[in-house]
Amino acid sequence: MRCVICYSPNIERKIVNEEIWVGDDVALIPLNVLVCDNCGERYYDRKATRQLEETEKALKDKRLRVETAGRVLRVVTEPAGARAA
């Protein structure tokens, strides 16, 4: 198999964290998928896709135990001309 993006033959199975947004929160879902070592393109098989879909539904239905893994910071930008003198 060659990567469809960079045509590299270096594709390996790896554990990656996929992000799912649940409201304002982001859940990191570990998945075992094929990843191009050259450009990072990910290839999801049916099993991984099904796992993502089921996990997203379970998160929305609050059927999964989650823990805080860090903080998300948002940069606040001021409208043009709003700076204090």
Domain ranges in the chain are 1-79
- At residue 57, the 3 state secondary structure works out as helix
CATH class, 1-79 region: alpha beta
Q: Report yes or no on whether pTM surpasses 0.85.
A: no
Six-digit token string for 19: 């992000």
Mean pLDDT of 16-31: 90
C-alpha distance from residue 36 to each of 2, 7, 13, 43, 78 (Å): 9, 9, 9, 8, 39
Q: What is the pLDDT of residues 24-70, one digit of tens each?
A: 888 999 999 999 999 999 999 999 999 999 999 999 998 998 888 88
